[in-house]
Amino acid sequence: MATGSVWIGKGIGSVASAIEELLSGADDEVQIASYALGEARDLLRLIESCLGRGVRVTMIVNKLRNQPVNTTSRILRLRSRFRHFELMSFDPPESEDLHAKIIVADRSKAIVGSANPSQRGLFRNHEIALVISGEAAEQIADLIDALASARFSTRVET
């Protein structure tokens, strides 16, 4: 899958469409690890839909305090509405960052790529991603579990 005007429409699927399909099909659990969210309105709409269906969502964002205020406010509102939404900020020492861009559904299917789930990352930049399934997706889910338990990950309460 890809993003960007050079690649989209040439027989390559879009990352945004793959994310929508993945999240729309989630039944039990969604895990998200992301460096930057930007505006992320489409992603947040899909997360809200998952939460409304009772799907547990864990979202780990690099330095949540540095994300756009409007996006952070919307995420915090979702966190206050849905008890099954676990929001975490990854706040490592200055020399480190969470730079992953991963979404996992039901520990069985994952999207891993270079695009942040922002409007820019999904529609304007030229990025690529892969859909991974089976045991490899479960291993990625385990890595996100480890990240959530890391000393640099802080649970955000509202």
63-87 per-position pLDDT tens digit: 999 999 999 999 999 999 999 999 9
The whole-chain average pLDDT of the chain stands at 95
What is the tally of structural domains in the chain? 1
Kindly state the average pLDDT of the residues 57-67.
Answer: 97
pTM above 0.85, yes or no: yes
Is 2 a member of any domain? Answer: no
In a domain, 113, yes or no: yes
Is the confidence at residue 12, as pLDDT, over 90? no
C-alpha–C-alpha distance, residues 19 and 117, integer Å:
9
Q: Print the domain residue range for 97.
A: 15-155
Q: What's the CATH number where 142 sits?
A: 3.30.870.10
Determine what percent of the chain is predicted with pLDDT higher than 70: 100
Residue 3: inside a domain, yes or no? no
Domain assignment of residue 96, yes or no: yes
Q: What angle do CA 67, 92, 146 make, to 5 degrees?
A: 100
The answer to whether residue 27 sits within a structural domain is yes
Express each pLDDT in 110-152 by its tens digit: 999 999 998 899 988 999 999 999 999 999 999 999 999 999 9
